[in-house]
Structure 1
Amino acid sequence: MDLKQLKALVTVVETGSVTRAAELLHLVQPAVTRQIRALEHELGVPLFDRTHQGMRPTKAGAALADRARRALTELDRARAELTPAAGAVTGIVTVGLLESAAELLAEPLARTVLRDHSGIELRIQTAYSGHLQQWLDDGDLDLSLLYNLTGSPSLNATPLVREQLWAVAPASFGLDPKEPVRFAEVAAHPIIMPSPGHGLHALITGAARRAGAELDTAIQTNSMSLQKQLVRSGQGWTILPAVGIAGDLDGQALSAAPLCAPEVRRSIALGTPRSGRVPAAVELVGRVLVDHIRAAVQNGRWPSAVLQDEQ
């Protein structure tokens, strides 16, 4: 197999169409078809099911595309590192940001890297902590923010921030950020919950047990932005990390306050792989990210948060 075949495979998997893949690769459609068929012939297994809805990867096709995508990314990274401008740090860096922190951190991180380190191609992925940790383990991320991680056999964890979870309600309830809300009061309202499997779901249900409260779960969703939208529309209250509502406190649609009785906190760490050489570009982006996190906490843009080294 060669690089052209791998690129064809990955592009067809991502688009679900040989025609669309050919357009993106600037090839004619028969050329892409030949590359896919050559791969199937070499491996002796079908890589796609051809359907009326398009090209659907088989189990083997999806597995090969996964590995091919990583191989192509590593080659792109090597090419960037081996052809640097004089004195410049170059390379591709893929960063994982928690969905709750992305609004606060993504723009300043990108702005700094683009302004001061133009030789670095920055790629940002957002997801739940569990997904980010899996992508980091699989090699799809170079570094990532994770929470409630103290370390693992495959990852280093550098503690950064400890923050409190907040109750979030429609503005009409008038929650005051300076006056904590008891968990029992939150439980008296329908709750918009994060989906099971989300780390926040476990934190909230654990706090409910400690408070002796029974949650009236109205809706469950895997989207933090949808949680806030549903609260704005009056469907219930929710519980979110302080950083996830930092940009909403000046508006007229939501009100929020720290939880108490019990307090619920999470720790955020920077996760990096234990094995392998750490490229200079990855180290640099990690330092920039940590600097922006420290500035956000010290400037009060990250409510109810303290830096781990200041506790």
Structure 2
Amino acid sequence: MDLRDLKYFVALAQAGNTRRAAEVVHRSQPALIKAITRLEASLGARLFERVGRGQRLSAAGTALLARATPLLNAADAVRDEVAALGQGTAGIVRLGCGPLGAEYLLPTISRLLLQEAPDVQLKLLIRMNYESRIELREGNLDLVLGFVPDEDDAEFVYDTLLEDIVVVAAGAGHPMLQARGPVTLERMARYRWALPNVSVASRVWLDQVFQSRGLASPLTQIETNSIPLIPRVIADTHLLSFVSRRTIQASHGRLREIPLAATTLVRNFGLTYPKDVSLSPAAEKMVGLLREHGQALFHKMD
């Protein structure tokens, strides 16, 4: 049964004669009659009875009309849904993101996405980068927004959006900021730290900096997987930490950078997605928005 023939059948049933029905569907009367004949042949039943110059539904036609309108409406809905999916204006985007991206990028990017694609569902998982990558590997996420290596590997594509700088930070009243003399790793090693757990790449990098100069890893008094907790803790203690410069800028003077070239990490921030899996149109739309607006949003505080 052809849906177009079914549409012509409904038009004829509602109009009552072929001339008016043909005008409604913008077809010739012979084409309309041919469609009805074809539909009757496929169903094995007469759908109309002639009454004078008009057409009246048969019992079979009446039964078909009761089911035809909901069927055509459902077909239109499916067509619109599939078209929206193809255009990226509908569908589901499963995004894993770390705290930095969640704070600086996602509020605006989510708003822009919903403006351009109001029927997209956005499922956000706020976790550490290494945790989100596990979910991506297992097929539970489409994209990860976080820190990326310089080059792709056999498993993932790494799409760099911008650079982030991580530095040693302390509360504004920390003794290191008051002391005279140059800042050194040896002086930093005398203090205790609040740091992310040892699975986080920036923590690994910092430990290696100290170890490469013959020093013990920073003495970690507070270790956490909650990055937003760290600035609040060090602002009111004499603990040091290792955070993005964005975090210091957002602290309104409560945190200060302790500048030292050896403990300044420049890292890439961007998207990670599987190499051999095509992104959905909705996910592609999210990627496009991040490429277009990500850097401006991230550097808005500069």
Q: Cα distance 1:95–1:116, how it changes in 2: closer, same or farther (>3 A)?
A: same
Which of the numbers 234, 244, 249 marks the counterpart of 1:241? Answer: 244
Q: Compared with structure 1, are the counterparts of its residues 85 and 283 closer, same or farther at alpha carbon in structure 2 (3 Å cutoff)?
A: closer
**Unpaired stretches in structure 2, ≥5 consecutive residues:** 1-77
RMSD of aligned residue pairs (Cα, Å): 3.1
Distance 2:133 2:199 in 1: 13
Corresponding residue for 1:89?
89
Whether the 8 Å CA contact 2:158–2:270 is kept in 1: the answer is yes
TM-score, length basis structure 1: 0.61
> Which AA in structure 2 matches 1:198?
V
Distance 1:165 1:86, change over 3 A: closer
**1:127 matched residue in structure 2:** 127
Q: Post-superposition shift, 1:86? A: 11
The whole-number CA distance in structure 2 between the counterparts of 1:80 and 1:239 is: 50
Deviation of residue 257 (structure 1)? 4.5
Counterpart pick for 2:211 among 193, 209, 212: 209
Q: Which amino acid aligns with 1:270?
A: L
Local SS of the residue matching 1:223: coil
- The 1:204–1:188 alpha-carbon spacing in structure 2 relative to 1, beyond 3 Å, is same
**Which deviates further from its counterpart, 109-118 or 180-189?**
180-189
Q: Aligned partners of 1:187 and 1:169: how far apart in 2? A: 14
For the pair 1:197 / 2:209, whether they are aligned, the reply is: no
Question: Which residue of structure 1 aligns with residue 226 of structure 2?
Answer: 223
Ranges in structure 1 where 5+ consecutive residues have no aligned partner: 1-77, 304-311
What is the CA distance between 1:87 and its match in structure 2?
Answer: 6.6
Q: Alignment identity in percent?
A: 21
Q: What CA distance in whole angstroms lies between the structure 2 residues aligned with 1:183 and 1:157? A: 32
Which residue is 1:4 aligned to? Answer: none
CA–CA separation in structure 1 for the residues paired with 2:88 and 2:197 = 44
* 1:296 to 1:193, Cα distance in 2 relative to 1, 3 A: same
SS in 2 for 1:224: coil
TM-score, structure 2 normalization? 0.63
The answer (yes or no) to whether the contact 1:143–1:270 under 8 Å persists in 2 is yes
Q: Report if aligned partners of 2:167, 2:263 keep a CA contact under 8 Å in 1.
A: no
Provide the rounded CA distance (Å) in 2 between the counterparts of 1:257 and 1:101.
Answer: 24
Q: Is the 8 A contact 1:145 1:271 kept in 2?
A: yes
Cα distance in 1 for residues equivalent to 2:136 and 2:79: 22
Structure 1 residue 258: Cα displacement = 4.6
Larger radius of gyration: 2
Partner of 1:99: 99
Which whole-Å deviations, capped at 9, do the CAs of 1:135-180 have from their partners, x for residues lacking one?
Answer: 111111111124243323221112222322111111223969xxx9
Tell me if structure 2 keeps the 8 A contact 1:170–1:232: yes
> 2:177 and 2:79 mapped to 1: Cα distance?
53
Match of 2:54 in 1: none
Give the 3-state SS of the residue equivalent to 1:139 in structure 2. coil
- What's the secondary structure of 1:107's corresponding residue? helix
